[in-house]
Amino acid sequence: MDDRMVVLTRAGVSLVLDLATPGLPRVLHWGAALDGLDDDARTALRSAALPTRRGGAPTEPAAPTLLPAQVDGWVGRPGVAGSRGRAWSHPRLVPFDVAVDDASVRVRSRDDAAEVSVVSELDLDPSGVLLVRHTLTNAGDTPWSVGGVRAVLPLPDHALELMHFTGRWSLEKAPQREAFVHGIRSFESRRGRTGHSSTGLLIAGSAGFGYGAGEVWSVHAGWSGWTVHDAERMAEGWSTLGAGELLAGGEVELAPGESYATPVVYFGYADDGLDGLAQRLHSHLRARPQHPSTPRPLVLNTWEAVYFDHDVDKMKRLADVAAAVGVERFVVDDGWFLGRRDDHAGLGDWYVDPDVWPQGLHPLVDHVRSLGMQFGLWVEPEMANSRSRLAQEHPEWLLHLPERTPREWRHQHVVDVADPDAYAYLLKRLDDLVSEYDIAYLKWDHNRDLLEAVHDGHAGVHEQTLAVYRLLDELRSRHPGLEIESCSSGGARVDLGVIQHTDRVWASDTNDPIDRQAIQRWTKQLLPPELVGAHVGPAATHVTGRVTSLELRCATALFGHAGIEWDITECDDAEVATLTRWAAEYKRLRPLLHTGRTVRAEDTHPERLLHGVVGDGHAVFSYVTLATLRTDIPPRLRLPGLDPGVRYRVVALPALSNSVSRFGVPPRWLADGGIELPGRVLSTVGLQAPLLGTGEVLTLELTAL
């Protein structure tokens, strides 16, 4: 065995590190699996992969290491930044210990003169996702100020395109594509939460990569505070993907012996396009010990049903209809606590308002449980209104300098969760609420960015984020059955940091199924469907005003952790019947939807979307027309991801499909009640699509024969 090289290979992915260097290991390869390399092949690989020296260049050509630095001739963004006073801004880290097993490597390095050391941990998990974390320790006797520590990996020359995401409130996860040209493309979030416009995943790919084809490489920082994701292509010929926490000046200053650990950074690779990359990420998350293991209960959330108008009798009637439809979890949203008649007051005062609930929440909770449903509650612990007891009695608990209060946002300020007294208050109030009402689920909201966040006189986002994680963990430790949703004005805190401490995310505050089709499609590039909340709202969406069919709303919510957010006491008999059929279909299909492979057909016609979930001998697909088609005869439905050698029975699901004869004669296969064809035919030849109107849907179930 050549002990000068480390080759990690798992699930079709390889990482190759060259240890025969004076400094940190060089990364010779990250991507497609390199199986069966003997010692001769490893030696040849090193020779083949190291760069040619150009005249006038450094004696030792630059090449990406685990933490690229100028000592290596690296003039791009460095892996480590920091200083001791005005000295030692360029550590020269030298390895002194390398520990390797079949799927991981740990490299311990130090710079004795600069008096810093680093432990670099790389784990290639069974799904092929590479987890990278660096821990920097101050080994000197004076403070070391951390400027930043990033995880960085190289890309091959044929990674020619970039994909990243932007968005805003109620329209998250909008994809953007561009050529990967020379220079650095950096995506920095300074919102104190992940942010509606956060890229989430930064993806590089071969030319023309799509859902089912092409090589793709991705990076994601698992952190809910400030982050940076970057792609850099240098004139020297190197290309890299990197990510990490973005630190403000002086935010992390290490006393002698103290350490700073980066967030886990997740690197993904697939040779079968975006769907292959999504499957690796989903498999990684599903393998976690804390991943939800029970069926995801059908939810009713009261927000768009009642807003702040809380009345126990109205809530009981809503619960009655919800239980009759098939709801399994009833969640009371904003408006239940002291003085909360609008969004100007109440945040921070986590006591049930006796003026609205004179007997507390018990009458409603008892009624909900008598109907066989779980009870859930909305909270926003990290915020306080100016008109609240917390803000009036404890202004020192707010996250800012006392003499420099930042501007209000939504009539609220941020609670300094890292303050021990504020933390203790929040933990006690939440613990008491969960205990008194035996709450099964908390919708944990976070409705503003953090501006001028100062804790104990210095930048405070880093400590705030860690404190929130601790608070979530402590609450769940005290109440092992408790589930928590990460909501942040919708999808503004969706990342693999917060998801380690919660059980699902709220993808967006809009329930408009047209917009939700894209929001959920791209949120699920990172997260599997069972972690993405998706609700059926009223016909006229409250956020956009768009009117859509109930079938489309139900079909859209089906492909997630499904729920209802609608005053269903006002539904007519036909609407209740449709919701009841949909609820039954969701319960029947969720074993597939929440374990299968998410697949998407290529967007050859922008007016329509075709996506589905494929399992072992079972699949569900949804075909949606987003705009008027440009052809009289719709394009065929070519269903991706099926087993080519398996014969499937294909049928439409009536509760999740609009009338297919509204605009003309349905295709023969549909008029006949279904069809039987091999997966190879369904994927290549496809099925004639019906004539659907704008905003209509056809949902298909496939069963192996």
Q: State the catalytic residues.
A: 445, 509
Tokens representing residue 456 in the block: 């104990």
Nearest-CA neighbor of 288 among 63, 126, 51, 122? Answer: 126
Sorted by sequence, the CB contacts under 8 Å of residue 34 that are 6+ apart come out as: 7, 9, 14, 16, 45
Rounded CA gap, 373 and 321, in Å?
Answer: 12
Tokens representing residue 591 in the block: 């074993």
First to last CA, the chain: 49
What's the gap between Cα 523 and its chain centre?
6
Residue 351 CA: distances (Å) to CA of 301, 334, 335, 369, 375: 20, 13, 11, 21, 17
**Region class of 491: left (phi > 0), else alpha (psi between -120 and 50), else beta:** alpha
H helices within 203-310, ranges in order? 273-286, 303-306
3-state secondary structure of 42: helix
Residue 94 CA: distances (Å) to CA of 97, 113, 256, 296: 9, 11, 20, 49
CB count in 10 Å sphere of residue 179:
9
Taking 3-state DSSP, the helix, strand and coil percentages for the chain, each rounded to the nearest 5, stand at 25, 30, 45
3-state secondary structure of 162: strand
DSSP state at residue 262? P
3-state secondary structure of 616: coil
Q: Tokens 């059980």 sit at which residue?
A: 503
Sorted by sequence, the CB contacts under 8 Å of residue 601 that are 6+ apart come out as: 211, 609, 610, 611, 637, 638, 639, 640
Q: Tokens 């709450």 sit at which residue?
A: 439
